[in-house]
Amino acid sequence: MEEILEIYKTTTVNEVAVWFKAAKVSDFPKNGGACIKYNNKQIAVFNFERKQEWYACQNVCPHKMEMVLSRGMIGDQGGVPKVACPMHKKTFSLESGENLNGDLEPIATYPVKIEDGFVYIGFSE
């Protein structure tokens, strides 16, 4: 199953080759997440309104390889924005992707930009 993970690689703003126009800002719940599809990838996108920030990461949880992170709750741990997987409450930093309450592999994160009421996710390919 680990091959699922191989298609997700953390991308920094500098590495972005494609800004994918995912959906309207209003399609995403405030302070919650939703999932978008880009080619064969499932990406969880979070409108962290309270922080005035958007975050994106792989939708698959590296714990049991299910496509569920977008359905998780978001919050912070000591100021670090995080998402909690709805399956077993594994938490991951939305910035670094690091597993905050265990030693799972980090999740891949992606840059997000908002233009003209649309949400764009940055990919390197």
Partner 1 sequence: MKKVVVIGNGMVGYKFCEKFVASENYSDFQLTVFGEEPRRAYDRVHLSEYYAGKTEEDLSMSSATWYKEHHIDLHISEMITEINREEKTVANHRGEKYAYDYLILATGSSAFVPPIPGVEKEGVFVYRTIEDLEAIAAYTKKLKSEGKTQAAVLGGGLLGLEAANAVKELGLDAHVVEFAPRLMPRQLDQGGSDMLQAKIEELGLEVHLNKQTEYIKGEKAIEGLKYIDGTELDVDMLVISAGIRPRDELAKECQLETGIRGGVIVDNTMKTSDDNIFAIGEVALYNNMIYGLVAPGYDMADVAVSHITSDTKKYMADHIDMSTQLKLIGTEVASFGDALSENEDIDTIVYENKRKGVYKRINVSQDGTHLLGGILVGDSSDYNALFQIYNTAMALPENPEDLILGSRGGDGDSLLGDVMDLPDDAQICSCESVSKGAICGAIQDGSCNDLGDVISCTKAGTGCGGCKPMVKDLVDATLKSLGKEVKDTICEHFEYNRQELYDIIKLKGYRKYDEVLDHIGKGDGCETCKPVIASIMASIYADTANEEAPIQDSNDRFLANIQRNGTYSVVPRIPGGEITPEKLIVLGEVGKKYELYTKITGGQRVDFFGARLDQLPKIWKDLIDHGFESGHAYGKSLRTIKSCVGSTWCRYGMDESVSFAIELEERYKGLRSPHKLKGGVSGCIRECAEARCKDFGVIAVEGGWNLYVCGNGGANPKHAELLAEQIDNETVIKYLDRFLMFYIRTAAPLQRTAKWLDKLEGGIEYLKQVVIEDSLSLAEDLEKEMSGLVGSFQCEWTQAIQDEEIMKRFNHFVNSEETDDNLVFVPLRDQKMPEPWK
Residues at the site binding partner 1, with contacts judged by CB under 8 A: 1, 4, 22-23, 27-32, 34-37, 42, 45, 48, 50-51, 60, 64-68, 71-79, 81-82, 84, 86-87, 89, 91
**For residues 81 and 87, is the Cβ–Cβ distance under 8 A?**
no
Distance CA(28)–CA(33), nearest Å, equals 7
Identify which of residues 5 and 106 has a Cβ nearer to partner 1 in the complex: 5
What's the min distance (Å) between Cβ of 10 and partner 1? 20
Q: In sequence order, what E strands does 30-110 have?
A: 33-38, 41-48, 53-58, 60-61, 66-67, 73-77, 80-84, 91-93, 109-110
Q: How far is the CB of 32 from partner 1 (least distance, A)?
A: 3
Q: Minimum Å distance from CB 78 to partner 1? A: 7
